[in-house]
Amino acid sequence: MTEIACSTADLRHLLSGSANATAVADYICGRFDAISSKFVDTSYAVDNTYLLFSAYLVFAMQLGFAMLCAGSVRAKNTMNIMLTNVLDAVTGGVFYYIFGFALAFGTPSNGFIGHHYFGLSQFPSSSFDYGFFLFQWAFAIAAAGITSGSIAERTQFVAYLIYSSVLTGLIYPIVSHWFWSADGWGSASRSENLLFGSGVIDFAGSGVVHMVGGIAGLWGAVIEGPRIGRFDHAGRSVALRGHSGTLVVLGTFLLWFGWYGFNPGSFLNILKAYGTTAAAPFYGQWSAIGRTAVTTTLAGCTAALTTLFGKRLLVGHWNVTDVCNGLLGGFAAITSGCAVVDPWAAIVCGFFSAWVLIGFNKLAEKLKYDDPLEAAQLHGGCGAWGILFTGLFAKQAYVNEIYSGLPGRPYGLLMGGGGRLLAAHIVQILSIVSWVSVTMGLVFWLLHKFQLLRITAEEEMAGMDLTSHGGLAYVYNDEEKPYV
């Protein structure tokens, strides 16, 4: 909020007919300035509270990931997958603090990488406060959590520590710098030299978060190979079902709840007017935040329903796990354009994201690719669709509201805005796939070469809870003696 100034000289001129005009003007301006400062302080407090609350919601998604992962693996690996989700948060916290945030948002910098605020030095600043760091850290560990699902049930514990540290401390921050920092080469927030005159509108991270995590998981799963028993000797797919549909549903609802911090929270502040009119004096960023929550909801709901009936037609039954994954695929897809599309467009996004997920799952079976949580297909595939969707359906009015300051900015191709935004988004997809494939592919290959990636066949058959974590997650005791 801009502070409103009071001029003693101007006020003294208006009070020239009264005695002691100077003293009265000084007193009035002094009171006015004090009140104006309080309003400015209040606006900062409200915006930072909103951002912190959003960060808490995004962090709560880690609990959702943990429950979803636990329910999607076999009972003998529950402790292992739960511990890896804890490690994503704690290792990500340390490494994102030391250098991840600086590489992502350390301004001023070049278009490729940031280089200020290492260890949060010179913090807070005029650009960032601690709430912003917390919010971005929650996003970073979400990307790592996506990857852990792809390589579940067969990965050495040390490999989780290494890849999670590298992903949250180096690989992910550089991508977020490209598209979210004001200095990034593909950012829509640049003041000049925007990519195709538009920059990339990846508002909450279909590419930056979901594609990064999904592509990293893809390479981990490819280099490791499928779990024992996932495909029979003839190459036919064999379902290795998770042990708890209850945990899958619980995790899905927790992720749904957290997505209301993930997408609407990406506005970063709430007290901002868009220039009210007589027809809509109540309209401002608070309205855009509400619309973003609605588009997020509709995309997920549409994707879930499409998956429900689509899988019924394809396989002949109603499957709760498929519906939950379809719902999350809709959320991953709408995350890019949630703030710049109409609610009806979100329904289109959700419908096609469901078929993208179904199609990639079919392709994965044919290629004998094994991903216990469908993470690469869901986050990578649906995330890529969401980026393309935004290039097609971004609405001019919403784009100008959120990315103001550049008249004539390109918007969605199907909305009459030409193809420049879509072209920028295609570049984003290609750059993320290339960067993550080279870097994380190399990390997983090196882990494989040094025999640090996959556990032994004996450990895999017994389950990692017994071999690595001291016991099973579920303990049953049927040895109680009867009363005598």
pLDDT, tens only, 123-133: 888 788 999 99
- The pLDDT confidence band at residue 43, using thresholds 50, 70 and 90, is confident
Q: Residue 155 in 3-state DSSP?
A: strand
DSSP state of 341: S
Residue by residue, DSSP assigns 11-76 as: HHHHTTTSTTHHHHHHHHHHHHHHHHHHHHHHHHHHHHHHHHHHHHHHHHHHHHHHHHHHHHS-GG
Instruction: Put residue 93 in one of left, alpha, beta given phi > 0 → left and psi -120 to 50 → alpha.
Output: alpha
Q: Which long-range contacts link 273-281 to residues 24+ away (Cβ below 8 Å)?
A: 274/401
- The pLDDT confidence band at residue 483, using thresholds 50, 70 and 90, is very low
Q: What is the pLDDT of residue 131?
A: 94
Average pLDDT over the chain, rounded to whole? 91
Tokens of 182: 């004001």
Count CA atoms within 13 Å of residue 394 on its CB side.
Answer: 35
Q: Is the peptide bond preceding residue 108 cis, with omega within 30 degrees of 0?
A: yes
Distance CA 382, CA 378 (A): 5
Cα–Cα distances (Å) from 205 to 48, 211, 356, in that order, read 21, 8, 18
- Above 60 in pLDDT, residue 278? no
Which H or E run contains 166? helix 157-166
Q: Is the dihedral of CA 226, 229, 230, 233 positive or negative?
A: positive
Q: Tell me the pLDDT tens digit for each residue of 320-368.
A: 999 999 999 999 999 999 999 999 999 999 999 999 999 999 999 999 9
Q: Residue 221 in 3-state DSSP?
A: helix
**Is the separation of the CB atoms in 160 and 87 below 8 Å?**
yes
Q: Tell me the pLDDT tens digit for each residue of 428-438.
A: 999 999 999 99
Domains annotated for the chain, with CATH where assigned, are 54-469 (1.10.3430.10)
Distance CA 183, CA 178 (A): 8
DSSP lists the bridge partners of residue 284 as 273
- The pLDDT confidence band at residue 484, using thresholds 50, 70 and 90, is very low
Count CA atoms within 13 Å of residue 240 on its CB side.
Answer: 22
Residue range 238-266: mean pLDDT, rounded:
96
| % of the chain residues with pLDDT over 70 | 90
